[in-house]
Structure formats: structure tokens, C-alpha cells
Amino acid sequence: MTKSTAPIPPQAAKRPHTITAHGRKRVDDYAWLRADNWRDAMRDPSLLPEPIRAHLEAENAYVDVVLADTTALQKQLFEEMRGRIKEDDSSVPARDGPFAYSSRHRQGGDYPLYVRRRFDDETGAVSGDEQVLLDGDKEGEGLAYFHLGGVDHSPDHTRLAYATDTSGSERYTLKVRDLETAEDFPETIENCAGGFVWANDSKTLFWVERDENDRPSRVRRWRLGDPTDDAEIIYEEPDPGFFVSVSKTESERFLLIDVHDHTTSELRILEADDPTGAFRLIAARRAGVEYDLSDAGDRFFIHTNTDGAVDFKVMTAPVADPAPANWAEWIEHRDGVLILGQRLFARHHVRLERVDSLPRIVIRRLSDDAEHVIDLNEEAYSLGLGEVLEFDTDVMRFGYASPTTPDQVFDYGMESRARTLLKTREVPSGHDPSCYVARRIFATSHDGASVPVTLLHHRDTALDGGAPVLLYGYGSYGITVPADFRTGRLSLVDRGMIYAVAHVRGGMAKGYRWYLDGRAENKANSFKDFVAAAETLIADGYTSRGKIVAMGGSAGGLLVGAALNMAPDLFAGVIAAVPFVDVLNTMSDAGLPLTPPEWPEWGNPIEDEAAFRRIASYSPYDNIAAAAYPPVLATAGVSDPRVTYWEPAKWAARLREHNTGGAPILLKTNLEAGHGGASGRWDSLKETALEFAFALKVAGLTG
């Protein structure tokens, strides 16, 4: 990929657009790539103006030409990755009363089928014929894009509510199916955010509606059979910086309206047996205070960071009067022991914690507060609470995986402590964990912070500085990239590449403070941590300068975009999937779907000059300078409401303009999808194959 051999790339026209804020002028030459009718185009990509569509199509054609020599490799990667997927795989059934519910894929199918079978109390097993409740392949047939949001049966098991998105814009249509006749009711609900919850009468649905700016902001109540236009607004959030969701406690006793941004929350509850009643407020929002709750008996269990509990604690409150004045500490705050979440059962409290960058599950008996930890012993692994639909049980479920160990699902006796393996992810083409090595190292960042880095490599890969590395990162919103098992990575590792994940600040790998130290005024720490991880891999002899391919998506695209500006010669290439790279412009536009809710994470550059200057100092688009940039592959989706398509389009154009080294800057736009890319599992694999082929090419491993 040199200047002499690369084809001529498309050149976006420069149409200077001057922006003035806080006494500072800047010129955006590529602002025209944002369509005036972007809202309409997001919902119907065919409405994208022709000049913009022509430019994106030219960019796609350029990608095809530059990566033409990887066509066979892409096909090989696709076949490898597909060969590791059990095409007719199914989830472990979860019992709910008389039925066990699960999902599965059919051989060759793109979308899941939701099914159930009768549960036999005498044998303790499922029995009888499978009933298909919803056939995703049938629903998505003939559609360029299809995605299922919420899918949930009614409490009496007679109906199924489900939400579908057919554009990628994340505006869902909600329907209800009669499970006896397999026919949908005639009423449909539009502009749903994808989430909903049943009241216990099995006739009333509470759902979240998107407003004109595509924000989930209103909760409506609708009784089956009534005109949908009569659906009552029972809550509307006036602050555009807060999102709204609905859910139900594990006991199914209470419905919840959750109003939240990234660091503040507020809950309202209603008895699920009283769907026409009024929701009552638990605790009014206070900036920086988060809480969620579950119930058992006459107590609420409140998971919260109130009163300075940075890594959270659990408090209890009486169901009759759960005002904050009645909260009592039950599990104390312990600095460095992050309580990630909780799940309640009739006789047990389960919490998921993270200690020393590793997760663990703690079981606590409600009758006497005795507790124990489930033992796990790998150096790096992922752990999660599994689906259990029943409340009155002594058996919980959890999922376990590591970079070398395929996903496993266990039932765990909370009293007996017996662990039953229900399923291990099958890799049809074969997988020998002993062929791979997973390890955890630590990089020292600019200020002395110790950054965890998870590595996966083949046991035969020489660790002599010659191996290329794919270094992945995210680092925002407190999201922690798990040390999990992904079969796709093996296609890189089997070819001699080391796969690494830098758990930078902005995530919560080392607790909530790790998140606070990588957001807002501390955001630069995330980028410096990522660069430090790369430099440590070099210093420790895993790889060499110029042999690292950086990869991140969405806010992870911001991470790698900022790192690219900081140290372009460090990387062999960069993969930025739907990257959030035009941060200053996006955060300065209150009309975009996610801008107000994002201000707590990044700062509000409209009203706060310090936030403006801080964001301006790292925004990848605004900090491109004349430099020899390595090859870059950016992706975009026209229907994307999270990272609008013009961000990566503008970024690619400006990178190409300022690139002095001649390495190709590539932009691949899905003209029929949104933030998640292609919806079908096989088309999605093709997108991954393209990204991995690019990584292998720039790493010199295509021979």
C-alpha cells in the first residue's frame, strides 16, 4: 500500500463552512457531507441526496479496488469464521411456569427463532413438541435490513410482544401476537424505542416512544384492543439529556420507569397488578447519583453510589415507604470492589463484582446474610449472570468464557453450591484451547497508572518482537471490554497475529474511579493509556513499532482516532468502525439524537468554554495535521442514529487531504444499515472478514 501502487482515491469537494464559538473561528471544508434531510435519510436511506450518495459510493468503489488483492482472503476468512459457528445453535431453555423458553437459529438462517416447549414438573425436563413463537427469518425475508428489539411473552403465556426495525434507524414497530392462533393483532405501534414491558394482566403494555429527535423520552400505556392513538402518555422526560426505559423487577411485582443519563438516575415504580395506577417516585435525581432496585418480600434492595460510595453499595428500604430517608446500608461500600449489578431471588441476593480487573459472583442468603463467592481460576476471563425467568428458585445461572475457553452456561445451586454445566459453545470446525495462550499484562501510563492489557496468541507464535498485534480498545461510558471468547479472532491469531485488548480508563476494568479518570476533563487519559499499552507491547518484546493495528468502534473509534493523531508512526494501520470522530461539531449540535445525553460524558461545548477547548484539543477530526498517516479503514452506516454517517465520511476526507505518506485512507459505508452494520449474521461476518483482511494486509500477513 504505497503511493506509487495505490489507485487514485475519490476527492471530496472542499466547501468552506466557517464556525465561530467562544471567540474562536474554525473552517469545516466537508460540512456539506451532512445532508439537510438527514433525519429522513436515516429512516429511509434512499432519500440521501444524490451528490452525497455518489461520493459514498465512490468511496466504496475505492475500497473494493484497494483491497481487491484480499478478495480471496476475505472469502477464506468468511468461510473460516462461518465454519466455527454452529449454524443451528440454540440457547439453553429457561423455565417460566409451564413452559421453557429459548431461541435458536436454523441451518443457514440469518435471524433467530423464538420457541418454547412444555415443562414437565414430574420429570423436571421439557417435553412435547416445540412451538415456534416468532420466526426471525420469515419476518426479515426480503428486507435489506432487519433487527429484532424486545421479544417477550405475556405473564399468562398467551401472547407475544415483539419490536422490529427495518431500516437500522432504531425506530421500532411494536406488534402483539396471539400464541394460540399465531396471528398478530391488527394494532401496531410505531416510533417505539424497542423496549416494553407487560403488566400482570397480560393485556396492558408499557412502551417507550422516541421523540422527534429520535430520543427515547416518553412512556405510554396501551391496553390490547384499544386504538393505539389512544395510548396514554404516563411519563414524559422534559430534559433532553436523559433517556427513558421500562422494565420489571425479578419478582414481577413491580414495573419500573428508569430515567437516566450516564451518571445520574431516577426511578418510578408501580405495582404490576395495578396497570392503571400511578407510578410513584423512589428518589428524585441528584447529579452524579445512580441507583437501581430489586425486591424480595417486603424489602427493596437498592444498588447505589449515594453518599460517596464510588464503587457502589447495596441498601435496603421498606416497600411500603422506600424514600431515601428509609434507606439502610446492607452491603457496605469497599473501595476497589466495584458492585456491577444485582439479581434478586426469593431467598438469595446475587451480585456481580469486579476486583483487580476480574469479575466474580457473590451469593448472599437473605435469611442470615451468609455469603460465598463462586470459585474461578483463569488469569483472564469473562463472567455474566444468565437468564433465569423464575423468582422462587434456589438455582441461578451464569455464563463463563475466556479468550481460550468457549462460552459455557452453568446452573448453580445457591444452597448446594453444585455447579451443573448445561452447555459449552460448540465450534464445528474444531477448537483446541491448549493451542492458545491468554495472559494479562500491565502497561504504565503517563501518570503512573497501571493499565490492564489482555493478550491472546497462538502457542507457536514467537514472542521476539516480530509478531504483529491487533490492539483493540473502547474506553467510554464505563463499558469494560470483557476477556471473552470470540471465534473470529482465531483467524488472526492462527496466522501469527497477537490479539490484545487495552482496558483503558473510561471503562470500569479497575472500578468506577477508572471510569471517572477517563471521562470529561480526564478524557485524555484514555488516549494516553492506549498509546502506553502499544508502547508496552513493544518494550516487552511482543511486537515492534509500526506492527500494531489499532482497532475501535463507535467511542472506541474516537480512542483510536485520537491515538492516531498522537502517534501516527506507532501503527501499521487503524480500523475505526462507525467512529465517533467529529466530537466538537457533534457535541455542539443540540438537535442531534444523542448530543444532550452525551454532555455529562464529554462536556457541553456550547455553554462551557473550558469544555469547548478541551474537546477541541483531542477531537480526531479537528486535530488532523500534515503527517504520514498509516493505512486507515473507517466504516459508516447511513441509518446510524448514534454516530451519523458524515462523521467518518468527513474524517476520511480530511485525513486523505493531510496525509503526506500516501497510505490509503478507506471509507466503507453501508448504505442500508445503521450503527451495528449488516443485520444478518452472515452479512455481518462478511464485514468482519473485510476488516480482518485489511488488518492482515497492513500487518504483512497475507502471503
Please identify every residue annotated as catalytic. 554, 640, 675
Amino acid of residue 317: A
**DSSP state string for 556-584:** HHHHHHHHHHH-GGGEEEEEEES----HH
Angle at which helices 555-566 and 524-539 pack, to 10 degrees?
60
**Which residues, 6 or more positions from 607, have their beta carbon under 8 angstroms from its beta carbon?**
none
The DSSP call for residue 375 is -
Residue pointed to by grid coordinates 472478514: 689
Q: How far apart are CA 339 and CA 552, in angstroms?
A: 26
Give the cell for residue 24. 474562536
Sign of CA dihedral 274, 276, 277, 280: positive
Q: How far apart are CA 581 and CA 695, in angstroms?
A: 20
SS3 for 642?
Answer: coil
The DSSP call for residue 630 is P
Q: Are residues 542 and 600 in contact, defined by beta-carbon separation less than 8 angstroms?
A: no
Give the cell for residue 561. 482516532
**DSSP state string for 246-301:** EEE-TTS-EEEEEEE-SS-EEEEEEETT-TTS--EESS---TT--EEEEEETTEEE
**Cα dist. 304→180, 258, 309, 332, 348 in Å?**
43, 14, 7, 11, 19
501 has which bridge partners?
A: 454, 472
**Cα dist. 42→38, 144, 671, 675 in Å?**
6, 14, 10, 11
**DSSP state string for 467-532:** --EEEEE---TT--------GGGHHHHTTTPEEEEE--BTB-TT-HHHHHTTSGGGTHHHHHHHHH
Q: How far apart are CA 319 and CA 264, in angstroms?
A: 22
**Cα dist. 239→82, 260, 558, 590 in Å?**
45, 10, 26, 12
Q: How far apart are CA 510 and CA 353, in angstroms?
A: 11
Residue pointed to by grid coordinates 425479578: 250
The neighbour count for residue 124, using CB atoms within 10 Å, is 8
Judging by beta carbons within 10 Å of its beta carbon (0-12, 13-18, 19+), is residue 115 exposed, middle or buried?
buried
Let me know the angle formed at the C-alpha of 684 by 679 and 690, rounded to the nearest 5 degrees: 145
